[in-house]
Amino acid sequence: MMPGKRVIWVILPIAAALAFLVFFFLQSRPVLTTIEPAVFTPGQPIRLQGQNFGTEQGKGRLLLDGFALTESSYLSWNDEEILFSLPLSVDSGLIQVSKPLGKSKPTVVINALRLPTAPADLPHAIPGPSITEILPQESGPGALIQIRGINFGSELHASQVRFSKNPERMALDTREDQAFPASDSVPQHFVLPENPEMYEHWDDKLIEVRVPEVAGSGPLVVSTPHGASEPYHFQVNQGSGSKYRFDPVSYSLEFAIEVDRKDQNSGGSLLVRFPNPPETFSQSIEEVQAESHPFQGGVGDSVSLVRLENPQAGLTRFSRTLLVRVYNVESELSSYSAGFSGAYSDPGSSGSAPLFLKQFLDAEEQIPSDEKVVKTLAAAIVGRERNLQRKAGLIRTWLASKLEWLADPVPDSSVLQDLGKRKAGSHNYSRIAVALFRAAGIPALPISGFLVGDEGQGIPHFWIEYYLPAVGWIPYDPVLVYGAVPAGFTPPFLGPALYFGSLDNRHIALYRGIAPLFNPPHQTQQTQGTQKTEPQPDQESIENAQGENEAEWYFPSPIGEGLGLEYSSDWKPIKILATY
């Protein structure tokens, strides 16, 4: 036989076999023809009809948006009909039959409870918001998601997106869903985006918003002045890294300031700003326990205000007592590989940090990350490394080995001076760390607060947090990692290295960042019995002019304003009244 004919005789049987397999596959693939009802009530039996489902379930599965239903969902299965049910947490989706030999074409199934309904007794009422879809259906902290629907309103204004709050003692990616009404109060079950810049788009049918750090899996609600949407399930995960909080401790903290009015005149007013500990992944304000005077300002505000009209001459004491809950925080980042890409990046510049993080990459007066000496040093430390967590580890190693911690630093020494000397106290140590992180392209901010000492005393202290997409803010105490221990404090964690990525529940944050508490429109002081208004000065001149001391536990000094009076003030050390 000729060689060419021999090849043909070999190819023909193979081609015939392949054609038969393709024909068999097409004939055996499941075919979905009808679904009844397409709009279901949770728990109601749903009937799929078609062919090639198989006489029994075996390895067959129903897929909803690509994910297999749980075994409890199946009621019956035969070759032409499948009976199943879906739980309350399921919204609209694409259902399809999957068998080892292929999948059917998908068809839509809709949860009837998620469909908007007109008010029965209010025919002219303005309809509230309604969510039809969230894309993607699951993501991590900092990711940009799209919420689609109707009646969101043309602008943000007084509206908000409420995410489920991550519960205690759970990792974000292992949270179990909780059932609760959409009308419940925000602090109890929901969390809002931490920064207004996390809202990147808002119109009547589309919202683009970043996932908050403390969000957990569960119902998501859009709230507007016209009402709140029905809850829509959203899944939060942390990708290649994870962060946990556990073992909360509650502290009763008293903040106090004594104000001494010097003049004997009548009239005048005094405005004092008290710090509010920030609400973060590691701590929260439980309640206001006592106030010497009526205060203005709520949870989430950086300060609360108290105004006193016609204060008496001599000493007046202002105080405020808060109950603050603080957690141990641990993170697992050994396999971290995410970065500023995809949903975690700036939509207009892939690979760049999103808008809400830009301020934590920029230089500030006390964070000289744009100085040549800082940029050169940061580049030398991280080299060609691109992974954000490994960059952070390289900076950690440099600080712990090259920057000496001083228990008694030189007063008024600048960040650049201390960096040049390779010696710094806690205050500048944290600011040097933040400057290097920002120069290396890692968002970071300094934290001012105090440690709870072994005898229950407050020890002023400073540390930092840096940001990792898909995980959130990571705590790092560079002084404790260095191996230094402030007098009166015994670190609860065994080993300095644990304070890179973890933090104990004896660190209480009072302020995050460097920015002043307010921007005064003017400064008024009394001069020879007449009121004098001057152009806005810098913060330091206000403190000196009004005789207000600096609070050593704060980056920005709390500031008081006196109108038509002369005074001096004295911030007292924070008292820990009780621990629970």
Residues 442 and 383 placed together within one structural domain of the fold = yes
Q: The tokens 């701590």 sit on which residue? A: 283
How many whole angstroms separate alpha carbon 372 and alpha carbon 217?
A: 44
Residue 530 pLDDT = 30
The length of the chain is 580
* Amino acid 557: pLDDT: 55
Which residue range is the domain that position 105 belongs to? 28-114
**Has residue 319 got a pLDDT over 90?**
yes
> Is the domain of 477 the same as that of 360?
yes
**Which pLDDT value is given to residue 16?**
56
Range 289-309 average pLDDT: 82
Continuous segment of H or E residues that includes residue 563: strand 560-563
pLDDT band at 348 (very low <50, low <70, confident <90, very high): confident
Examine residue 196 and state whether it is found in any structural domain, yes or no.
yes
**Better-predicted residue by pLDDT, 191 or 146:** 146
The per-residue pLDDT for 516 is: 53
Distance between CA atoms of residues 492 and 475, nearest Å: 15
pLDDT of residue 519: 39
Q: Is the pLDDT of residue 550 over 70?
A: no
pLDDT at 28 over 70: yes
At residue 117, does pLDDT exceed 70? Answer: no
| pLDDT of res. 1 | 52
Q: What is the pLDDT of residue 6?
A: 56
Of residues 232 and 181, more confidently modeled: 232
pLDDT value for 12: 59
Mean pLDDT is highest, among 156-165, 194-203, 432-441, 518-527, for: 432-441
Cβ atoms 101, 23 nearer than 8 A: no
Residue 342, sorted as left (phi over 0), alpha (psi -120 to 50) or beta, turns out to be left
**Are 504 and 364 within one domain?**
yes
The closest of 434, 503, 419 to 467, measured between CA atoms, is: 434
* 268 pLDDT above the threshold of 60: yes
Q: pLDDT tens, 138-174?
A: 999 999 999 999 999 988 888 999 999 876 434 333 3
Last residue of a domain, one of 183, 206, 237: 237
The answer to the question of residue 385 being in a domain is yes
Q: Are residues 290 and 268 in the same domain?
A: yes
Taking 70 as the threshold, does the pLDDT of residue 555 lie above it?
Answer: no
Is pLDDT above 80 for 533? no
Residues 140 and 264 in one domain: no
Higher pLDDT, 532 or 205: 205
Quick check: bond before 37 cis, omega within 30?
yes
pTM surpassing 0.95?
no
How does pLDDT run across 391-421, given as a tens digit for each residue?
999 999 999 999 999 998 988 899 999 999 9
Q: What does DSSP assign to residue 293?
A: S
What does the pLDDT average to over 178-206? 73
Q: Are 233 and 297 in the same domain?
A: no
Q: Are 67 and 137 in contact (CB under 8 A)?
A: no
Q: What is the pLDDT of residue 315?
A: 92
Question: Domain boundary at 459, 478, 508, which?
Answer: 508
Q: What is the DSSP string of 84-126?
A: E---TT--SEEEEEEETTEEPPPEEEEEGGGS----SS-TTPP
Q: How confident is the model at residue 5, as a pLDDT?
A: 54
| Cβ neighbours for 142, distance < 8 A, ≥ 6 positions apart | 210, 211, 213, 344, 354, 357, 467, 469, 470, 472
Q: Is residue 120 part of a domain?
A: no
Tell whether 6 is covered by a domain.
no
Quote the pLDDT of residue 556: 53
User: In the predicted model, what is the mean pLDDT of residues 436-460?
Assistant: 95
Query: In the chain, what percentage of residues exceed pLDDT 70?
Result: 81
565 is a domain residue: yes
Domain boundary among 82, 114, 146: 114
Query: Domain tally for the chain?
Result: 4
3-class SS at 464?
Answer: strand
Q: Give the helix, strand, coil percentages of the chain, each rounded to 5.
A: 20, 40, 45
Rounded CA-CA distance 183/193 in Å is 18
* Domain assignment present for 274: yes
- 484 shares its domain with 407: yes
What CATH code is carried by the domain that includes residue 485? Answer: 3.10.620.30
pLDDT of amino acid 304? 85
Average pLDDT of the segment spanning 270-286:
88
- Residue 573 domain-assigned (yes or no): yes
Label residue 521 by pLDDT band (50, 70, 90): very low
Average pLDDT score over residue span 360-383: 96
- If asked whether residues 374 and 503 sit together in one domain, one would say yes
Say whether both 504 and 525 belong to one domain: no
Closest C-alpha to 371, from 363, 379, 360: 363
**Statement to judge: residues 176 and 230 lie in one domain:** yes
Task: Tell whether 307 and 364 lie within a shared domain.
Answer: no
Average pLDDT over residues 32-61: 88
Residue reference for tokens 């709520």: 298
- pLDDT value of residue 562: 79
Q: What SS3 string covers 27-72?
A: HHCCEEEEEECCEECCCCCEEEEEECCCCCCCCCEEEECCEECCHH
Q: What would the mean pLDDT of 44-53 be, rounded to a whole number?
A: 90
CATH code, 61 = 2.60.40.10
Q: Is residue 344 part of a domain?
A: no
pLDDT at 365: 87
Question: What is the spatial distance between Cα 560 and Cα 548, in angstroms, rounded to a whole number?
Answer: 8
Give the SS3 label for residue 3.
helix
Whether residues 110 and 148 fall in one domain: no
